[in-house]
Amino acid sequence: MIPVVILFLLAFVFSTEARITNVVLFGDSFTDQSRSHSISNGSFPGRNYQQVYPPADHAADGGFQWPFYLGLYGNYTISNYAVGGSVCSNDLTPLFGTPDVLTGQQDWFIQDHISGNGTHQQKLLSDPNSFVIIVWIGTNDVGIHSLVTSDQPAKVSLVDVADCQLNALRKMHKLGARRFILNSLIPLHLTKLYAESDDGTIYWPDPHNGTVWHKGIYNLVHSLNRILNDGVQNLNREWKGDGNVGWFDTYRFFEDIYHNPERYFNGSIPANVTGHCHQCPDPHDWRQCDIGDCTPDQRDSFMWWDELHPSEQTGRHLAEEMNRKIRGVSAY
């Protein structure tokens, strides 16, 4: 009997895999390829916006962002609605006012994938089993100018930030989407920005109490991840099989990279998970950024591109693991 059951399960996994042809992404600069640059360029991305790739533009990882590689590795059509600097909701943790995951980024999804929005003829244009929606947001919500520096509006808590993410999934479920992956936050305390150091960085040039930030971000990331993980289980109960959200443990995946760098990095120098390639020698003068960068040959040795962002090589591995996740065979 048992082998038969296993065969059925395998058949289910494989038939599911065969049908996923598209991936839709929401998020911030960890995912954005060029939308935030387009906005600062003065050309607001509209319907069917096409991402701009190197050499014309580079993402916050210094090159091609991981969804590009995900599309390549899994032969998926990618709809990437992430915008650098974004948060889950500008009403909760406003930062730059860029399109947020809950509203502005979803509007793009509606424009591209829903016909007759808001009418009785409203229709999702793709088979809900053909695409998966990946949400990866929260780094800015918990970060500087927000929770970790106590700059959030009064009466906004971490629970609101978590509920926002779960409600973003509920909204897309209402629009007809059925397959989701929610990413946990990465170990941000490993980045230079949140290191136990009082030195300024390009993202916060002035000295600050590094111990307070380091401990604070650790606490916020762990707490948000726990609330979200519980929320994902609740959501799956709520949907009673009519829709599914998977949890991708980006935190644990990044920890594995950090502790086993030789497995992941292949640039021309020994793997480096503590420093970063891209340098800004004077944090008060962004025009000096690029001075002292690692060489192109050395890039793939670094886990981090800069004081906050993962490198392109880290992104390639994330894409590879996410492709496994979509196929139901990831350990994360």
Ligand X SMILES: *[C@@H]1O[C@H](CO)[C@@H](O)[C@H](O)[C@H]1NC(C)=O
Tell me which residues touch ligand X (CB under 6 A). Answer: 21, 34, 37-38, 41, 43, 52, 56-57, 75, 107, 110-111, 117-118, 198, 209, 211-212, 266-267, 272, 274-276, 300, 313, 316
- In the complex with ligand X, the residue whose CB is nearer, 163 or 321, is 321
How far is CA 230 from its chain centroid? 19
- DSSP states of 120-146 as a string? TT-EESS-TTSEEEEEE--HHHHSTTT
- In the complex with ligand X, the residue whose CB is nearer, 110 or 289, is 110
Task: Decide the pairing of beta strands 179-183 and 131-136.
Answer: parallel
Nearest distance from residue 321's CB to ligand X, in Å? 11
- In the complex with ligand X, the residue whose CB is nearer, 107 or 230, is 107
Kindly state the tokens that stand for 287. 């025009």
Nearest distance from residue 122's CB to ligand X, in Å? 8
- In the complex with ligand X, the residue whose CB is nearer, 97 or 275, is 275
Longest CA pairwise span in the chain (Å): 68
Kindly state the tokens that stand for 14. 């494989």
Determine the Cα–Cα distance for residues 147 and 151; give it in Å rounded to an integer: 6
Nearest distance from residue 87's CB to ligand X, in Å? 19
- In the complex with ligand X, the residue whose CB is nearer, 138 or 267, is 267
- In the complex with ligand X, the residue whose CB is nearer, 198 or 290, is 198
- 233, amino acid identity: Q
Report the DSSP beta bridge partners of residue 77: 22
Nearest distance from residue 64's CB to ligand X, in Å? 10
Selection from 133, 223, 235 nearest residue 179 by Cα:
133
Kindly state the tokens that stand for 261. 């760098």
Nearest distance from residue 226's CB to ligand X, in Å? 24
Report the SS3 class of residue 22. Answer: strand
CA dihedral 221, 133, 80, 264 (to 10 degrees): 60
C-alpha pair distances (Å), 71 with each of 63, 181, 183, 330: 15, 16, 18, 17
Any alpha helices (H) in 91-189, and if so which ranges?
104-113, 139-142, 158-174
Nearest distance from residue 150's CB to ligand X, in Å? 13
Residue partners of 15: CB distance under 8 A and separation at least 6: none
Nearest distance from residue 2's CB to ligand X, in Å? 33
Selection from 222, 107, 229 nearest residue 166 by Cα:
229
Kindly state the tokens that stand for 153. 């509006």
- In the complex with ligand X, the residue whose CB is nearer, 6 or 212, is 212
- In the complex with ligand X, the residue whose CB is nearer, 33 or 146, is 33
- 62, amino acid identity: G
- In the complex with ligand X, the residue whose CB is nearer, 132 or 228, is 132
Q: Positive or negative CA dihedral for 34, 305, 132, 183?
A: negative
Nearest distance from residue 35's CB to ligand X, in Å? 8
Nearest distance from residue 297's CB to ligand X, in Å? 6
| CB-based closest residue to ligand X | 275
